[in-house]
C-alpha cells in the first residue's frame, strides 16, 4: 500500500470513529459531546480545503499530524476523558500545539520572505513566530473559560493552575522553536533542531535551494 493511501485510510478511520461517536451522543442525548465531535469532524477536512483554496502544499504526513492533534485534543481529551485519565495528556497537547503553531508562524513569515514580498531581520521572524503561537494558546484558554462559564463544563480542570500551566508550557515550547528558527536563518549550524527544521522546510518547498537572510 502506498504511503498516500495509508494516510488517507488512517484519516478516514478517525472520521468513522467520530461518526460512530456522534450517533451514540445523539442516542444518549449528550449534546455537548455531539458539539465537540462535530467540530472535530469539520477540522479533519480543513487542511485539504485550505490547501485547495490558497494553493498551499501541505505534505500528507503533516496533514495527518494536524488532524490527529485536533482529534486527540477535542475528541480523546474532552469526549473520551483522556485529560482525566492521563495527568500528562494536557501538558503534552499544549506543548505539541505550541511547537506546531510557532512553526506555522515561522513558515508563514518565511514564505513571504522567500517570495521577496518583505525584507526583514531573522529576529523579527522569531519574535512573530513566538507571539503567534502564544496568541493561539491564550485564545484557547479563553475558549475553555467561555465553555466552562456558558455550558458549565470542566475544560479548565483546576482553574487558574491549569491555565497558567498551559500558558507556561506553551511559552517555553514556542521560545525553543523561535530560537531554533532564528539559528536556522542565521547559520549553517548542524544541530538536531537545525536538521529537523531544514528537512521540514525543504519538504514543503520541494527544493534544496533555501534562501537565508
Identify the segments of the chain with pLDDT beneath 70. 1-4, 54-59, 115-116, 188-198, 200-213
Domain boundary among 47, 80, 113: 80
Q: What is the pLDDT of residue 79?
A: 86
Q: Which residues contact 94 (CB under 8 A, 6 or more apart)?
A: 137, 166, 169, 170, 173
Q: How many domains does the chain have?
A: 2
Three-state secondary structure of 132-177: HHHHHHHHHHHHHHHHHHHHCCCCCCCCHHHHHHHHHHHHHHHHHH
Q: What is the pLDDT of residue 208?
A: 41
Domain boundary among 48, 80, 112: 80
197 and 104 in a common domain: yes
Q: What is the pLDDT of residue 110?
A: 77
200 and 125 in a common domain: yes
Structural domain of 203 = 87-213
2 and 37 in a common domain: yes
Domain boundary among 80, 104, 132: 80
Amino acid at each position: 500500500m502506498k504511503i498516500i493511501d495509508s494516510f488517507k485510510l488512517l484519516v478516514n478511520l478517525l472520521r468513522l470513529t467520530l461518526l460512530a461517536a456522534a450517533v451514540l451522543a445523539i442516542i444518549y442525548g449528550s449534546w455537548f459531546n455531539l458539539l465537540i465531535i462535530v467540530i472535530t469532524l469539520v477540522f479533519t477536512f480543513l487542511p485539504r480545503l485550505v490547501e485547495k483554496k490558497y494553493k498551499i502544499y501541505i505534505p500528507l504526513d503533516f496533514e495527518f499530524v494536524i488532524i490527529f492533534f485536533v482529534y486527540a485534543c477535542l475528541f480523546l481529551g474532552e469526549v473520551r476523558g483522556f485529560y482525566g485519565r492521563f495527568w500528562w495528556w494536557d501538558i503534552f497537547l499544549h506543548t505539541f500545539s505550541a511547537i506546531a503553531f510557532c512553526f506555522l508562524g515561522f513558515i508563514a513569515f518565511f514564505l513571504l520572505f522567500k517570495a521577496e514580498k518583505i525584507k526583514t531581520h531573522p529576529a523579527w521572524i522569531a519574535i512573530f513566530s513566538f507571539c503567534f503561537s502564544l496568541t493561539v494558546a491564550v485564545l484557547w484558554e479563553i475558549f475553555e473559560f467561555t465553555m466552562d462559564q456558558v455550558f458549565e463544563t470542566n475544560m479548565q480542570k483546576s482553574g487558574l493552575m491549569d491555565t497558567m500551566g498551559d500558558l507556561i508550557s506553551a511559552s517555553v515550547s514556542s521560545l525553543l522553536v523561535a530560537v531554533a528558527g532564528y539559528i536556522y536563518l542565521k547559520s549553517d549550524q548542524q544541530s538536531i533542531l537545525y536538521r529537523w527544521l531544514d528537512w521540514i522546510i525543504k519538504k514543503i518547498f520541494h527544493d534544496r535551494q533555501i534562501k537565508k537572510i
